[in-house]
């Protein structure tokens, strides 16, 4: 950030203008940001790969049923056998189900099981634009009807897609407020411990909350008027990302401002210098995250594509708030906001003898040994990667804790019925080939015999039920067999349904990993190269990012299997963790290396590395704890995918801040010296021989922030 821009933002009169503008932005955020849930699109199409066969089938189903139709499978069970009165009650329920709002087509059943201990009824609902958010109300309506007629001892469960959607929607119920308050709670606690001030924490938190409201307002307008896709998942991640990343930028600015207050009597001049020196690192960090998130637009999964712009907008607004609103608030409040540890003009700099200064002195005598040992230890964590089963989660594996009703119902249905009537495979093809489609599909291993084809105009729909659990590898294998065998029928035959959707999601996620991950690495490499003006430094730092990501994923996989007992991971899990760890983890590289470069201009790389670590070690550690804690909040939710992502990202961030940035990168700086800056002008600047890092720190009082 140029000094003139920094001076304008911290001007003694313009600070009030900035505050007034942000008051207006607050009003905007309250009016529009609070309505973001109204713009959430949880229709099935908003989650699926855009060009997959199952997505095409979903669109073609519009000829036979609404595009957002989902099936509720109502299962009755009585240990010892279903009685005649049970059957009569279930039949009465079916008649009343037909009158519920949103029911489409005929209610089918109740059908008895071969063992005589269960019944099942199939009801199809059109969820419309509300998507799964309507599912809990539908489940409540079904329960109200069934509970009124059920005899003692007859158990009823709602499973199938509607049951799963209802349980998922309930897991997300109130998630925005829960995540916001939980995230704010842990961030406030960390800021209190970091600043040791009962007042200062409020300004970063206020700025982050205003940024969140503003970002939600922008996203709401884009979702309603520009076609931006936002769903409950991306909305939840937005909360964590804005609070976490925004607080990170605040920590960097406040640390630099506190340093400058010791050097300048006028707080406006101190803020000008702080913005001038910390601003470029903040802007580069924010730009890296924004561009990294926008790389998700190259994904084939619609839900992943939608997350990219939502997250990018959130980080961009957070960065704007921390470079405009927070500086204005700090200079308005003055030095007293740091009470009881006010940084007086001319007071000594504590980081010259702090813990990170001592860490630097431990590393400097044998840097090669340190980075080799550190690399080997982090590399050993990669041995856990084969344990990561990111091939998708079954319905039961998707929830933590006590099994929800849909999972219990699925187990009951599987125990008494051969096929899953609530998760039918839907095969669509030319009407002229209806007979051949039904015969070929019905003779395929893994399905029950096909029912009679439905024909509308020149299109036929054939449905079959799977003999295996709908979300399982045997079921996926059956879909592959069906697609292969139906290719011989002729014409354009497509296979859809819930299992086909899950299979296509897996394949799309694997494709996205191969496309998006290299794209993000390229973006990060270019930004690091432009910021540091050095090819060697950019490549070395990028390699540390990849090493850190693999270590976090390997350790997480071992915890998932041997500690938490998770059955696997969602197919999009590696990509999401990579995006957040690399895009956000690179922040700490930038925080450290921009400071090292600044000091290297005056002192050479090795001495600059010592000063840079001492100066930024504390703020990087605090920032890492903030971001790790915010993502760890996701682990409190009862959904396995978000729990796993929260754990892996939190672990990766801690590895980044405590080991990779502060130890590994510092050791590489010491060992490589000026070679790190090739081919920039710093490469030609020789390090002073026999320098004394302690002396360098004790005499360098003009550019060392307080941790």
For residue range 621-668, what is the model confidence (pLDDT) as tens digits?
888 888 888 888 877 777 888 889 889 999 998 998 889 888 999 999
Predicted local distance difference test score (pLDDT) of residue 589: 84
What pLDDT score was predicted for residue 350? 63
Q: What is d(CA 420, CA 394) in angstroms, rounded to the nearest whole number? A: 14
CB–CB of 455/448 below 8 Å? Answer: no
Q: Which two tokens stand for residue 258?
A: 């506190």
Q: Are residues 181 and 166 in the same domain?
A: no
| pLDDT attached to residue 697 | 44
Q: Is the pLDDT of residue 542 over 50?
A: yes
Distance CA 318, CA 324 (A): 10
Q: Does 60 or 685 have the greater pLDDT score?
A: 60
Q: DSSP of 345-376, one letter per residue? A: TT---GGGGSHHHHHHHHHTTSHHHHHHHHHH
Tens digits of residue pLDDT in 564-585: 888 788 888 888 888 888 877 7
Domain boundary residue among 172, 207, 228? 172
Q: Tell me the pLDDT band of 696, cut-offs 50, 70 and 90.
A: very low
* 412 within a domain of the structure (yes/no): no
For residues 438 and 387, membership in a common domain is answered with no
pLDDT tens-digit series, residues 241-269:
898 888 889 988 988 888 888 888 888 89
Q: How far is CA 184 from CA 30, 154, 306, 703, in A?
A: 18, 46, 25, 31
In a domain, 707, yes or no: no
Establish how many alpha carbons lie within 13 A of residue 127's alpha carbon, considering only the half-sphere containing its beta carbon.
28
Residue whose token pair is 């607080």: 247
C-alpha span between 45 and 505 (Å, rounded): 12
The domain boundary residue, chosen from 443, 472, 496:
496
Angstrom distances, CA of residue 245 to CA of 195, 239, 279, 581, 599: 18, 10, 15, 12, 26
Q: Look at 316-330, 556-570, 675-689 and tell me which has the smallest mean pLDDT.
A: 675-689
Count of CB atoms situated within 10 Å of the CB of 341? 14
Is the confidence at residue 175, as pLDDT, over 70? no
pTM of the predicted model, to two decimals? 0.80
What mean pLDDT value characterizes the chain?
Answer: 84
Residue 1, pLDDT score: 63
In order of 292, 426, 434, 463, 657, the CA distances from 491 in angstroms are 42, 16, 11, 18, 57
Residue 614's CATH number? 1.20.1640.10
Over residues 198-227, the mean pLDDT reads: 90
Residue 160 belongs to some domain of the structure? yes
The average pLDDT across 468-492 equals 84
Nearest to 572 by CA among 291, 132, 233: 233
CB 33 within 8 A of CB 40: no
Any domain includes 60: no
Could you list the residue range(s) of the whole structural domain that residue 278 is in? 1-52+174-338
The answer on 663 and 547 residing in a single domain is yes
Q: How far is CA 170 from each of CA 12, 70, 164, 182, 399, rounded to the nearest angstrom?
A: 50, 17, 10, 18, 11
Residues 205 and 323 occupy one common structural domain: yes
Distance CA 416, CA 118 (A): 7
Average pLDDT of the segment spanning 462-466: 87
User: What integer pLDDT is reported at residue 22 of this predicted model?
Assistant: 92
> What CATH number is attached to the domain comprising 442?
3.30.70
Q: Which two tokens stand for residue 635?
A: 């682990």
Q: Give the tokens for residue 633.
A: 């909040």
> Is residue 411, in this structure, part of any structural domain at all?
no
Cα 642 to Cα 137, 234, 517, distances in angstroms = 24, 11, 20
Q: Is residue 383 part of a domain?
A: yes
Residue 226, judged by CB atoms within 10 A of its CB (0-12, 13-18, 19+), counts as exposed
Residue 29 covered by a domain: yes
Mean pLDDT of 528-545: 89
- Write out pLDDT tens, residues 395-432: 777 777 777 888 888 889 888 887 666 678 889 998 88
Last residue of a domain, one of 172, 198, 228: 172
Please tell me whether the peptide bond between 679 and the residue prior to it is cis, using omega within 30 degrees of 0: yes
Handedness of CA 289, 543, 527, 681 (dihedral sign): positive
The residue count of the chain comes to: 707
Element housing 495 (H / E)? strand 494-496
Is residue 164 within 8 A of residue 406, CB to CB? The reply is yes
pLDDT in tens, 547-565: 999 999 999 999 998 888 8
Residues 13 and 117 reside in one and the same domain: no
What is the number of other CB atoms lying within 10 angstroms of the CB of residue 692? 12
pLDDT at 704: 41
Q: Do 168 and 190 have their domain in common?
A: no
Structure tokens at 334: 């003055």
Q: Verify that 73 and 222 share a domain, yes or no.
A: no
pLDDT reported for residue 334: 85
CATH for 114: 3.30.70.360
What pLDDT, on the 0 to 100 scale, is given for residue 556?
Answer: 93
Same structural domain, 214 and 325:
yes
pLDDT of residue 701: 43
Confidence of residue 369 (pLDDT cuts 50, 70, 90): very high
pLDDT level of residue 47 (50, 70, 90 thresholds): low
Identify the CA nearest to 597 among candidates 277, 363, 283, 282.
Answer: 277
Q: Which residue has the higher pLDDT, 60 or 395?
A: 60
Task: Tell me which H or E stretch contains 576.
Answer: helix 573-603
The verdict on 256 and 199 lying in the same domain is: yes
| Shared-domain flag, residues 112 and 123 | yes
Q: What is the enclosing helix (H) or strand (E) of 503?
A: helix 498-532
Which class for 343: exposed (0-12), middle (13-18), buried (19 or more C-beta within 10 A)? buried
Q: Per the structure, how many domains does the chain have? A: 4
34 and 84 both lie in a single domain: no
690 band by pLDDT with thresholds 50, 70 and 90: very low
Distance CA 21, CA 419 (A): 61
* pLDDT at 153 (0 to 100): 81
Q: What is the pLDDT of residues 66-97, one digit of tens each?
A: 767 888 999 999 988 899 999 999 999 999 99
Report yes or no on 522 lying in a domain.
Answer: yes
Q: Quick one: how many helices (H) and strands (E) in the chain?
A: 24, 8
Task: Verify that 271 and 397 share a domain, yes or no.
Answer: no
Burial class (CB in 10 A: 0-12, 13-18, 19+), 406: buried
Q: What average pLDDT does this structure show over 176-198?
A: 80
290 Rama class: left (phi>0) / alpha (psi -120 to 50) / beta: alpha
């Amino acid at each position: 950030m140029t000094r003139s821009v920094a001076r304008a933002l911290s001007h003694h009169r313009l600070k009030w203008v900035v505050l007034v503008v942000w008051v207006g932005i607050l009003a905007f955020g309250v009016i529009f940001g609070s309505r973001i849930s109204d713009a959430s699109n949880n229709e099935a199409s908003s989650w699926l790969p855009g060009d997959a066969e199952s997505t095409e089938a979903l669109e073609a189903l519009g000829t036979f049923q609404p595009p957002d139709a989902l099936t509720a499978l109502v299962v009755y069970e009585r240990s010892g056998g279903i009685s005649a009165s049970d059957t009569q009650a279930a039949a009465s329920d079916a008649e009343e189900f037909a009158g519920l709002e949103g029911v489409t087509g005929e209610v089918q059943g109740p059908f008895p099981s071969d063992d005589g201990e269960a019944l099942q009824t199939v009801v199809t609902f059109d969820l419309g634009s509300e998507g799964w958010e309507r599912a809990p109300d539908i489940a409540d309506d079904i329960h109200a009807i069934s509970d009124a007629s059920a005899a003692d001892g007859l158990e009823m469960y709602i499973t199938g897609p509607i049951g799963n959607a209802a349980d998922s929607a309930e897991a997300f119920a109130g998630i925005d407020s829960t995540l916001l308050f939980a995230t704010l709670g842990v961030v406030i606690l960390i800021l209190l411990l970091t600043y040791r001030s009962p007042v200062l924490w409020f300004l970063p938190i206020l700025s982050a909350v205003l940024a969140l409201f503003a970002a939600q307002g922008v996203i709401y307008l884009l979702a309603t008027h520009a076609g931006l896709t936002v769903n409950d998942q991306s909305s939840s991640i937005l909360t964590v990302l804005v609070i976490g990343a925004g607080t990170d930028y605040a920590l960097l600015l406040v640390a630099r401002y506190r340093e400058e207050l010791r050097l300048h009597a006028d707080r406006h001049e101190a803020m000008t210098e702080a913005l001038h020196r910390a601003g470029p690192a903040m802007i580069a960090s924010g730009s890296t995250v924004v561009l990294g998130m926008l790389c998700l637009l190259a994904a084939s999964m619609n839900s992943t594509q939608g997350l990219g712009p939502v997250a990018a907008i959130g980080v961009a607004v957070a960065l704007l708030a921390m470079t405009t609103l927070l500086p204005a608030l700090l200079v308005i409040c003055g030095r007293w906001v740091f009470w009881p540890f006010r940084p007086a003009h001319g007071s000594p700099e504590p980081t010259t003898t702090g813990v990170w200064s001592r860490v630097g002195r431990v590393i400097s005598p044998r840097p090669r040994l340190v980075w080799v040992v550190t690399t080997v230890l982090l590399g050993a964590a990669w041995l856990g990667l084969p344990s990561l089963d990111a091939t998708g989660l079954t319905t039961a594996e998707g929830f933590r804790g006590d099994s929800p009703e849909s999972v219990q119902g699925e187990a009951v249905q599987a125990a008494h019925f051969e096929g899953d009537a609530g998760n039918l495979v839907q095969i669509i093809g030319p009407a002229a080939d209806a007979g051949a489609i039904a015969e070929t599909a019905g003779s395929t291993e893994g399905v029950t015999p096909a029912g009679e084809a439905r024909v509308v105009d020149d299109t036929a729909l054939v449905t079959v039920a799977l003999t295996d659990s709908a979300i399982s590898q045997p079921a996926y294998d059956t879909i592959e067999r069906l697609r292969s065998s139906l290719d011989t029928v002729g014409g354009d035959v497509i296979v859809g349904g819930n299992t086909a959707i899950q299979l296509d999601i897996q394949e799309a996620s694997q494709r996205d990993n191969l496309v998006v991950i290299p794209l993000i690495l390229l973006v990060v490499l270019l930004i690091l190269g432009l910021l540091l003006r050095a090819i060697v430094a950019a490549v070395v730092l990028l390699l540390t990012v990849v090493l850190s990501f693999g270590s976090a994923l390997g350790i997480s996989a071992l915890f998932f299997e041997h500690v938490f007992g998770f059955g696997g991971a969602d197919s999009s899990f590696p990509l999401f963790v990579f995006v957040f760890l690399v895009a956000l983890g690179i922040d700490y590289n930038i925080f450290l290396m921009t400071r090292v470069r600044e000091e290297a201009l005056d002192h050479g790389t090795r001495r600059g590395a010592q000063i840079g670590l001492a100066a930024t070690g504390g703020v990087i550690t605090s920032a890492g704890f903030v971001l790790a804690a915010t993502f760890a909040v996701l682990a409190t939710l009862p959904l396995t995918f978000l729990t796993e992502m929260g754990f892996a990202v939190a672990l990766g961030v801690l590895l980044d801040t405590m080991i990779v940035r502060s130890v590994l990168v510092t050791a590489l700086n010491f060992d490589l010296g000026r070679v790190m800056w090739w081919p920039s002008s710093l490469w030609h600047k020789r390090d002073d021989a026999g320098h004394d890092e302690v002396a360098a720190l004790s005499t360098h009082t003009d550019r060392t922030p307080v941790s």
